[in-house]
Structure 1
Amino acid sequence: MIALNWPWLAASAARDNSKLLPFDPWVLGAALSLMLFGFVMISSASLDVAMRNNGTPYYYVFRQMTFMAIALFAAMVVWRIPLSFWQQTGHWWMLMAGVLLVLVLIPGIGKGVNGSHRWLPLGPLNLQASEVAKFCMVIYMGGYLVRRLDEVRSSWKGIAKPTLPLGIFCVLLYFEPDFGALVVLMGTVMGMIFLGGMRFSQFLTVVSGVLLLLVTVVGLQPYRVARLKSFLDPWADPFGSGYQLSQAQIAFGRGDWFGTGLGNSVQKLFYLPEAHTDFVFSVLAEELGFAGAAVLIVLFAILVVSIFRIGRRAEKQKAFFPAYICYGFGIIFAAQALINIGVNVGALPTKGLTLPLVSYGGSSLLVSCIMLAVILRVDYELKCQQLRGDKNHREVVDE
């Protein structure tokens, strides 16, 4: 087991003349900046809605503060868990995620909101099972790719095996329904297998099949067809199916280059639904303009690139499990940010996906912080391994 002694790491780094930090500054800095950015925008976007719904303007502000405290505490605990634990217990996490996805569909246990049954009420926190499922699937797939890497790279058999648990998860997500999480989950698994060494011809075949399946799923439910039509032309029905998207576009138009000023959004005053959750990026663009939106996008780019950089470093050091879980978590952050921002600007049909670390909500923030803690743990263990390797090399040279 890797020692958890920060002073040891710092002292070793000093002795080796290496500027190694116990945490990757780019991942940690970008993540904390996004969380603070999100807290400020949630505070701005939710005051009037909270006053109308709960009788106090700071209802969502205080809840988000609580979520942040819980998420940061959980991240500190998870950071202290060795990666070997996750690798050895991946199948149990998969089982737990499957149980949670079943529980939310059971009447009286799962909580329904706006026709979707995605949450399990746990006191002050409503746990969204799909968020947990993403984390568990990445942990399981990381272990699977390590065990079956040669099989994945050489035959269809290695690619087909993980489709069974993925298929079960996707069916359960379909019945919730949570189409956004389904797309992210499928994209993450496909991305991890591809980065594990899947042949490009196989990848194109799988992508074609998945796209055909997604088109079929969309066509089976009329409300999704209506969403697609409203996405293509939201102004055809600006007070009906295209209402959210048209109001979001008004927010972007009002924001211009430098925004109307923090707190001066008009769209958050009951025009734009879900202003502090799914459409917080639109409020940000209205109040802070293109400049503020660009800063947020740059922070996400820094976060995702840094995560993949850690994964690549792990792969070079032959630490394949840490590498694959970094790739998986990086894909999740990138996909959710891309989809949420794409929905806000009108480039993608509306989906109920939060903006990681920024949107209001406990489940997304909790799981995001846990994923980041595991990524920072990967970085820490790689640095410990590097220090031990440097020390052994010096001893051999001295002899």
Structure 2
Amino acid sequence: MRFFEAFTGRENEEYDPRGPLFDRSLVVLVFLLLALCLVMVYGASIYIGDLKMNDPGFFIKKQLAFIAAGLLAAAGIMLIPVNFWYRSGRLILPVLALGLCALPLVVGSSVKGASRWINLGLFNFQPSELVKLVWIIFVAGYIQRHHEAISKVKVFIFPFLFFIPFATLLYMQRDFGSIVVLLGITFGMLFVAGGGLAVVIVSSFAAGLFLLAAIITNPYRIGRIVSYMDPWKDAENTGYQLTMGLMAYGRGGAEGQGIGNSVIKMNYIPEPHTDFIMAIWGEDAGFAGVSLVILLEFLLIAKICMLGFTAMRS
């Protein structure tokens, strides 16, 4: 039981203001995933690092630098009082995020027809990733202010009205995936906060119609959906990456080919260390390695949900 308590925590305990400002088991899970991530990146990037940068360890060094920067940023954010996020998340942060979201359309770099990134020299920055964090803060603050009336349609629907300018900018950047993610985040948070099943169903139907229209009006998105349903139908074109990914999983079997021994990453699939890193990991570590990643992610999500429900009760 003590082993599982290390990950699930003991939420019934009283909060001790003299204790740490973070949950220890949550930090453990994050560091386990970070360590596993380094192994995955190393195995998937050896070939492409040597081919493009003449350094097999180039991308693992880059990943270590980003992890260090992220940990420093996390340590700094922990020092900021929660009230700051509550106040600024009401208007200031969303407006700043909206302006940041518009930047790729002005100074962004285009990659494969999509203008989602800003070139900062050492790396490309995608503003929509930061927008997701700001949006969570905004919706959380909105729920806190209106939690008693969240089941009313006019209260429930406001975040979606405020979401329209974000969705418009993301649509212009051809970042359809971020729109879907942000809508999912909004629905999920409002439903957990007590939005009511009927309101959620109606809102989901309206959002579904919008997404369907966006898909139908763009043949590229239709092609992506068709290739997802049956990648082998056009394995040499729209289904190429998916079929290569499936072949990587098949080669991995139960135990995998060994870290760094993937063959699919060798010019058979583009960006093996980013977009399709999970498929390469499946080939390297097999079913066992993929199951380990899924287990750690499940524990992380379960822990976050437990902490969220604890915060709601307090």
* Fold shared per TM-score above 0.5: yes
Does 2:265 align with 1:268?
A: yes
Alignment of 1:333-344 (within 5 A): none
Identity of aligned residues (%): 34
Alignment of 1:2-151 (within 5 A): 22-90=21-89, 91-106=91-106, 109-151=107-149
Give, in angstroms, the shift of residue 133 of structure 1. Answer: 0.5
Give, in angstroms, the shift of residue 306 of structure 1. Answer: 0.3
Equivalent AA in structure 1 for residue 115 of structure 2: H
CA distance in 2, matches of 1:172, 1:22: 36
Equivalent AA in structure 2 for residue 130 of structure 1: S
SS in 2 for 1:246: helix
Aligned to 1:236: 233
RMSD: 1.7
SS in 1 for 2:80: coil
2:46·2:260 contact (CA, 8 Å) conserved in 1?
no
Does 2:286 align with 1:300?
A: no
SS in 1 for 2:110: strand
Give, in angstroms, the shift of residue 285 of structure 1. Answer: 0.8
1:151·1:157 contact (CA, 8 Å) conserved in 2?
no
CA distance in 2, matches of 1:99, 1:263: 42
SS in 2 for 1:312: helix
Give, in angstroms, the shift of residue 22 of structure 1. Answer: 4.9
Q: Deviations over 1:232-280 (max 9, x none)?
A: 2111221111100000000010111111111111111111222111111
CA distance in 2, matches of 1:50, 1:217: 37
Aligned to 1:356: none
Consecutive unaligned residues in structure 2, runs of 5 or more: 1-12
Task: Give 1:277's match in structure 2, choosing from 274, 279, 282.
Answer: 274
Q: Deviations over 1:108-164 (max 9, x none)?
A: x112222111112234232211111101111111111111223322x2110122122
CA distance in 2, matches of 1:263, 1:53: 17
Does 2:206 align with 1:209?
A: yes
Aligned to 2:3: none
Does 2:183 align with 1:186?
A: yes
Between the two proteins, the alignment pairs up a number of residues equal to 298
Aligned to 2:158: 161
CA distance in 2, matches of 1:104, 1:161: 26
CA distance in 2, matches of 1:30, 1:219: 41
Q: Deviations over 1:73-129 (max 9, x none)?
A: 1011111111111001112110111001111111xx112222111112234232211
Give, in angstroms, the shift of residue 58 of structure 1. Answer: 2.4
CA distance in 1, matches of 2:72, 2:50: 29
SS in 1 for 2:140: helix
2:33·2:293 contact (CA, 8 Å) conserved in 1?
yes
SS in 2 for 1:162: helix
1:152·1:197 contact (CA, 8 Å) conserved in 2?
yes
Q: Deviations over 1:313-335 (max 9, x none)?
A: 11111xxxxxxxxxxxxxxxxxx
CA distance in 2, matches of 1:139, 1:33: 26
SS in 2 for 1:174: helix
Aligned to 1:4: none
SS in 1 for 2:22: coil
Range with bigger deviation, 299-308 or 231-240: 231-240
Give, in angstroms, the shift of residue 21 of structure 1. Answer: 5.6
